[in-house]
Amino acid sequence: MKKIRVLIAKPGLDGHDRGALVIAQALRDHGMEVIYTGLRQSPVQIVQAAIQEDVDVIGLSSLSGAHKTLFPKVIEVLKERDAEDIPVVGGGVIPAEDIPFLLDKGVSKIFTSGSSTEALAVYIKQLIDPDSDQAEAPNKVSHIGIAVDTIEKALPFYTDTLGLELEGVESVESEGVKVAFLKIGDSRFELLEPTNDQSSIKKFIDKKGEGIHHIALDVNDVDKRIETLKTRGIPLINQESKPGAHNSQIAFIHPKAAHGVLFELCQQQEGSDS
Ligand code: ZN
């Protein structure tokens, strides 16, 4: 397959290119051809270089705070030159509150200083070749798992106070839990009651008390997603998927990867009821 060609550019006046050089090397390590424009390039120079070098994607790096003017300017010049099919990815020191503005201006994605170069490489591969072997983003919250001492005592809050409907109760022996399902829109609350002392829900309640235990994300291919996370070095609790409630296949990401939140990846099987 043809190598992905990436132009890395630093628009604006800031005088450091260590970050851009690190990114360039990381993308080369991922088998991409990287052209680096050097410091202090104008949007016009950047677009010219991109067209001349026939790149697949432009990566803009900014530390100077000028991203709000310079990134949209690059996109504007691309349009003027009929080259707006070249996607623009941005990164650097960019406050989260500026990201929606930049996306709105046509930047495909912004990576902040907390992002890994691995995530950038994976994103570019997927952007250029959507059929590449990378998992898609999860499309909804499948359910929120809530640890309770007993379903019997917790249920009236959900059914009476909130007025939700109890869909069913199921025991998952392998996990030592009984699960009550309450539908809310396209998602569910799952009340998790421990059924033995080895249950991780029992340990959770002993340590932290009742409360939110995990958030489950609906994914279309849990095994593929696990592989993607592994290649990105994301710590997982389950190295392979396992059967969950409601005939699903599930795996947990380690909370240290997610700032203290336990995320479950949940794939509904064919023929299950959601
Ligand atoms: Zn769950």
Are 167 and 50 in a shared domain? no
CA of 214 from ligand 1 middle (Å) equals: 7
Q: What is the pLDDT of residues 229-271, one digit of tens each?
A: 898 889 999 999 998 887 899 999 999 999 999 999 999 876 5
Is 198's pLDDT higher than 80? yes
| Proportion of the chain above pLDDT 70, given as a percent | 95
DSSP 172: E
Are 97 and 150 in a shared domain? no
CA of 217 from ligand 1 middle (Å) equals: 9
- Cα Rg of the chain (Å, integer): 23
Q: Categorize the per-residue pLDDT at 274 as very low, low, confident or very high, splitting at 50, 70 and 90.
A: very low
Please give the mean pLDDT across all residues of the chain: 90
Phi/psi of residue 242, nearest 5 degrees: -140, 160
Q: Categorize the per-residue pLDDT at 126 as very low, low, confident or very high, splitting at 50, 70 and 90.
A: confident
Task: Select from 128, 148, 169 the last residue of a domain.
Answer: 128
Are 149 and 47 in a shared domain? no
Are 32 and 117 in a shared domain? yes
Q: Is residue 72 part of a domain?
A: yes
Q: Is residue 215 part of a domain?
A: yes
Q: What is the pLDDT of residues 43-96, one digit of tens each?
A: 999 999 999 999 999 999 887 788 999 999 999 999 999 999 999 999 988 898
Contacts for 178 with CB less than 8 Å, ≥ 6 apart: 151, 169, 170, 171, 172, 192, 193, 195
Please tell me the pTM assigned to this model: 0.73
Task: Select from 128, 157, 185 the last residue of a domain.
Answer: 128
Are 195 and 239 in a shared domain? yes
Place of tokens 């991922």: 30
Q: Is residue 272 part of a domain?
A: no
CA of 131 from ligand 1 middle (Å) equals: 29
Show the DSSP H helices in 65-165 as ranges.
67-80, 99-104, 117-128, 151-156
CATH of the domain at 72: 3.40.50.280
Contact 157, 182 (CB under 8 A): no
Q: Is residue 181 part of a domain?
A: yes
Is 8's pLDDT higher than 90? yes
CA of 273 from ligand 1 middle (Å) equals: 16
- CA angle, 90 then 96 then 99, to 5°: 45
- Tell whether the torsion through CA atoms of 248, 249, 253 and 258 is positive or negative: negative
Q: Categorize the per-residue pLDDT at 184 as very low, low, confident or very high, splitting at 50, 70 and 90.
A: very high
User: Across residues 8-37, what is the average pLDDT?
Assistant: 87
Q: Is residue 274 part of a domain?
A: no
Nearest to 56, CA basis, from 20, 31, 22: 31
Strands 5-9 and 33-36: parallel
Q: What is the pLDDT of residues 129-163, one digit of tens each?
A: 877 666 677 889 999 999 999 999 999 999 999 99
Domain assignment of residue 166, given as a range? 140-267
Is 273's pLDDT higher than 60? no
* Total domains, the chain: 2
The C-alpha atoms of residue 264 and residue 252 are separated, in whole angstroms, by 4
At position 30, the amino acid (one-letter code) is: H
Q: Is residue 151 part of a domain?
A: yes
Which tokens sit at 170? 């199921």
Contact 272, 246 (CB under 8 A): yes
Are 85 and 116 in a shared domain? yes
Are 119 and 146 in a shared domain? no
The C-alpha atoms of residue 47 and residue 53 are separated, in whole angstroms, by 10
User: Across residues 176-194, what is the average pLDDT?
Assistant: 95
The C-alpha atoms of residue 70 and residue 64 are separated, in whole angstroms, by 10
CA of 109 from ligand 1 middle (Å) equals: 30
Contact 62, 12 (CB under 8 A): yes
CB atoms within 10 A of CB 107: 22
CA of 119 from ligand 1 middle (Å) equals: 26
Are 117 and 39 in a shared domain? yes
CA of 229 from ligand 1 middle (Å) equals: 19
CA of 132 from ligand 1 middle (Å) equals: 29
Residue 272: predicted pLDDT: 46
